[in-house]
Amino acid sequence: MREIGSQNFEREVINSKSDGVVTFTAPWCGFCKGTETVLKAVAEELSDVKFYVVNIEENPDLARKYNVRGVPTTLFVSQGEVKARKTGALTKAEIYKLINKTPVQKAQI
């Protein structure tokens, strides 16, 4: 997961050929920290999706542009378009549903 901002958002997310999950967060947000932990776990399982974090206090222009009214707000971006969005803390299952993927099943030994 990478932190990005206004200076590289378009290049990294909108113009990317890869699907991306962008979570808008704030340093004071407890739910954001929990969601980031879950997102990191999903990012380790899905190499074909890029995961990003945007700090709304440092990038208020992006928060306005993407109509972020609460944090965390998570967007799924594919082919330069926002395909899905969810505001609030997310579980692993909700992240997979947001990006329309099947959860990775770990092998049982």
- Summarize pLDDT for 44-98 with one digit per residue, the tens: 999 999 999 999 999 999 999 999 999 999 999 999 999 999 999 999 999 999 9
Higher pLDDT, 102 or 15: 15
| Catalytic (active site) residue 60 | no
Q: How many CA atoms lie within 13 A of 53 on its CB side?
A: 20
Question: Residue 44 has what pLDDT?
Answer: 95
pLDDT for 107 equals 44
Q: How much is the pLDDT for 108?
A: 43
| Interval 12-42: pLDDT, tens | 999 999 999 999 999 999 999 999 999 999 9
The pLDDT assigned to 105 comes to 58
pLDDT of residue 40: 95
Instruction: Note the pLDDT of residue 104.
Output: 63
Q: How many Å apart are CA 31 and CA 71, to the nearest integer?
A: 8
Integer-rounded Cα radius of gyration of the chain? 13
Phi, psi of 76 (to 5 degrees): -105, 120
Look up 32 and say whether it is catalytic.
yes
Annotated active-site residue in 4, 32, 49, 99: 32
Q: Which of 1, 14, 26, 29 is catalytic?
A: 29
